[in-house]
Structure 1
Amino acid sequence: MNNYDIVILGGGPGGYVAAIRAAQLGKRVALVEKDKLGGTCLHRGCIPSKTLLRSAELFDTMKRSESFGIRAADVEVDFRGVLSRKDAIVKQLETGVQFLMKKNRIDVYEGTGTIVECAERAGYNGILEVRGAMKEDGGDDPGRDAIERIGYTDLIVATGSRPRRIPGLPAHERIMTSDDALAMTELPASILIVGGGVIGVEWASMLSDFGVQVAIVEAADRLVPTEDADISRELGRLFAKRRVKSLTGAKLLAAGIADGGVTVQIERGGKTEMLSAERMLVSVGRAANVEGFGLERTGAVVERGFIAVDASMRTADPHVYAIGDVVGGLQLAHVASHEGVVAVERICGLDAHAPDAASVPKCIYGRPEIASVGLTEQAAIDGGYETKVGKFSFKAIGKALVFGESDGFVKVVADRGTGAILGVHMIGPHVTDLIGEAALAQVVQATSMDVGRMIHPHPTLSEIIGESMLSADSLALGM
């Protein structure tokens, strides 16, 4: 049996980053992955969905090309070509992760890992059993099922999450999760999206740009309800311009398969409505993968469906850590990666702690893009702050007009007394590339005046950050 200092269960962006950091710190490391290196983010989430979004955005731009003085006749979507591009990008990135594992001399076990023993013994504190298909003699045949046991001093659980399903919905290929949607080989004529959060609005934007008729059913009173209310209102307005139907404050009562499509009944404003479409996409959040790998054999505790951890990502078992979606909180790839580094560094005796949620940038990659960091205006008020707000429109930014994308704005929420930046909220072109400056400003505890007085190059989209910061102090120059 091979013994390791650190064994990591799960090869997503949290797991493989943790493995690399552990190797850098001189630890003997094993990574166990039952599917493919890169995890959900690379294969069924971030990368494939953003690749499809880019193709959809380009298609929409080409349809509007005459506004740029370019005539492009007979523009059409080759969806199989779109999928081929997506697959090629995913494969390239997967190969990159595989290279990093070899470069850092990390042992990768391809198979399903299960904790079979958790007891302090000579040289290790627990045993993981890895069950997978062994290829004999390096050939292409799967060969026999193989079981290998590996010992660990410390274990990091990075098993990720899966799409939540709504109880009672019929099992049918026309009722999809985001995983199922990524497996579509043809675009539907119409789709009902249940859930107006991050995943729901990204798919709504993408499919709408591809020419699909889209309706969103959201239980909350607005789309992206965790974002600032002004952002939600602007997204609703811009979606309406694109004929994306947003049914907020709606409760799903029933769904069924009929006439080659999906029919649902919803309750909204005290009235019931019937809706139908060719397909339905269910995007109501993600459930942590806490079952099926022997977690119960450790001292770790599951609370409200997630593994409970402290600020060092350690569970109630002193030799078991957990990171990423499986611990809840902000289920974001970049958070998982940071948590993986924290867990490893604490195992190695370094001073590290989980990220402060208020300093983590959040991004939504539809059209328009949405990005935010820190407190919403309402959360700041509820937190007892006396606030001042700055807001600046992309319509006054030259580079946005050059791009032909001038909808949206940047909103700054700051403390009235100190000028401390409490939150920054963006909706508009390429804001997911702009939010990093706002996040850094919060980390270094900059004031709105500090960032407003910083020279931003012209013409760039980044000018809007400076102007919105100055606006919070009634000093904006571009309005």
Structure 2
Amino acid sequence: MLKYEVVIIGGGSSGVEAALYARSLGMKVAIIEKFRWGGRKVHAGLFKAKQLQKCANVALSLREASSSGFDISSFEVDYSRLQNKMFSNAMKHASRIYSELITAGVDCYAGEASVDVNQIIRIENQAMRAENIILATGSKEKIPDLDGLSKKDFLTIDQLYELNELPHEVTIIGGGLTAAETALSLAPLGTIVTILENDKDLMLQEDAEVRYMMKKQLAALNVTMLPNQKNMRATNGKVMLDDIPIHHEHLLIACGTVGNFEIARDLQVEIANTYIKVNQNNQTTEDNIYAIGSVTKSSQSAAKKVIHHILQTTIPYKPQIEVMRIHSTPPILTVGMNENELHEQVDVFKGTVEMLSEEVSFEWCKSMVKILIDQEFGEILGAVIIGENANEIMTKLVKLIQSEGTIEDFHQMIPSISVDQPKRNKIV
């Protein structure tokens, strides 16, 4: 039987990071991936979405050029060609990931893993035992429970990128950020988009400023937004609102994701709500089994932290600060937590920054900045930046967070900031 210090189940971004880092520290490592190297980020949502977003941005630029006097009477999108390019780029990226793992000396296994209560891992005809198991099994799309809908009646986000023709008309069930970004990618290309949400508004989990900006862009592209649809149901594959059928060429489900917990259940680790229960070291309820990535509640990458804990090293580890870039014009960047996620007293600093943008050459641009500060310790908990120079400002802010700087340091770093008096919030 093969024996490893660490076996990682899941070859997405978190699993690959853990494998490469463990191997760089001399550990004997194996990684198992049942689909394609890189996971959903490469072969479905994030990687392909970015390429579709680039195409949408070109379409918006053409529209702007037309309004400025250029004669652009019409343009067509060769969606089949775009889809082939997205697939080709994804496969090239997956090949690079696999090559990097092999070069590093990680043993790679392709196929679906199974485990038993004795923690014996099997894949096809191979059996292995690990001193430590890291679950990086990723997520799958969450499908709402709508009677009258079968799998043949709708598309998932993953399936959207497999179409060979640009959809003429799409109705999206789900009013979160993914639905809004998808609409902003399709509408500039000519797709008629309707968003249905049963909550009182779209994107309620996002900051108010993000929600306002995204809805403003959706409205400008004639996207129909129908929140508060409590009576939404389905009959014979058609969505009904108050017994009135909604016409659509394609019905798209964009209701978020849920973790792949099959292996976790086989290993009898505890699952709390919709995440694997872990402690501050990302250990599950079994001491030698860890969980990282989207199967856990934390959005931060914990791969390096887990490896250090396994090795019981005293090397200080600072979590990687992950910036979320929302598909938007102008750009929207967020970091850390937002007001809806915080359950403590915070100071909210909100204002504008005017500076020379590197992206828009020789043009002074204004950006909206909102920074959330812990009232007791002055720690920066999160931020939202909207504007053409958002990338430059966020780069400075991330460095400040890494150095445990304060809002006063931010003022010194960017003297042109104009910030309102802080609003003191107690969020319950």
TM-score of the two chains, using structure 2 as the length reference: 0.87
Distance 2:161 2:211 in 1: 26
| Maintained 8 Å contact 1:157/1:321 | yes
Partner of 1:251: helix, strand, or coil?
Answer: coil
Q: Which amino acid aligns with 1:192?
A: T
| Maintained 8 Å contact 2:7/2:31 | yes
**What is residue 211 of structure 1 aligned with on the other side?**
190
Q: Name stretches of at least 5 consecutive residues in structure 2 with no aligned partner.
A: 423-428
**What is residue 318 of structure 1 aligned with on the other side?**
287
Choose 99-108 or 210-219, whichever is displaced more: 210-219
**What is residue 352 of structure 2 aligned with on the other side?**
392
Displacement after TM superposition at 1:422 (Å): 4.2
| Maintained 8 Å contact 1:413/1:472 | no
Distance 1:209 1:274 in 2: 26
Say whether residues 1:342 and 2:301 are aligned partners: no
Label 1:50 to 1:325 Cα distance change in 2 as closer, same or farther (>3 A).
same
Q: Which amino acid aligns with 1:321?
A: Y
Q: Which amino acid aligns with 2:26?
A: G
Displacement after TM superposition at 1:287 (Å): 1.3
Distance 1:161 1:313 in 2: 17
Choose 81-90 or 35-44, whichever is displaced more: 81-90
| Maintained 8 Å contact 2:359/2:389 | no
TM-score of the two chains, using structure 1 as the length reference: 0.78
**What is residue 121 of structure 1 aligned with on the other side?**
none
Alignment equivalent of 1:129, drawn from 122, 139, 157: 122
**What is residue 75 of structure 2 aligned with on the other side?**
75
**What is residue 253 of structure 2 aligned with on the other side?**
282
Q: Which amino acid aligns with 1:188?
A: P
**What is residue 5 of structure 1 aligned with on the other side?**
5
Displacement after TM superposition at 1:245 (Å): 1.6
After superposition, what is the alpha-carbon deviation per residue over 1:408-451, rounded to whole angstroms, capped at 9, x for unaligned? 73333446898754432123447467534333323323223322
After superposition, what is the alpha-carbon deviation per residue over 1:46-81, rounded to whole angstroms, capped at 9, x for unaligned? 101111111121122123224566544542211112
Q: Name stretches of at least 5 consecutive residues in structure 1 with no aligned partner.
A: 119-125, 132-146, 267-271, 456-465, 475-479
Displacement after TM superposition at 1:219 (Å): 2.9
Displacement after TM superposition at 1:162 (Å): 0.4
**What is residue 178 of structure 1 aligned with on the other side?**
157
**What is residue 269 of structure 1 aligned with on the other side?**
none
User: What is the CA RMSD across the aligned residues, in angstroms?
Assistant: 3.2
Label 1:249 to 1:263 Cα distance change in 2 as closer, same or farther (>3 A).
closer
Say whether residues 1:452 and 2:423 are aligned partners: no
Displacement after TM superposition at 1:163 (Å): 0.2
% identical aligned pairs: 23
Choose 431-440 or 203-212, whichever is displaced more: 431-440
**What is residue 383 of structure 1 aligned with on the other side?**
344
- Count of matched residue pairs: 421
Say whether residues 1:157 and 2:135 are aligned partners: yes
Label 1:322 to 1:417 Cα distance change in 2 as closer, same or farther (>3 A).
closer
| Maintained 8 Å contact 2:5/2:132 | yes
Label 1:428 to 1:3 Cα distance change in 2 as closer, same or farther (>3 A).
same
Displacement after TM superposition at 1:21 (Å): 0.6
**What is residue 241 of structure 1 aligned with on the other side?**
220
Displacement after TM superposition at 1:172 (Å): 4.5
| Maintained 8 Å contact 1:162/1:287 | yes
Alignment equivalent of 1:192, drawn from 163, 171, 175: 171
Label 1:198 to 1:83 Cα distance change in 2 as closer, same or farther (>3 A).
same
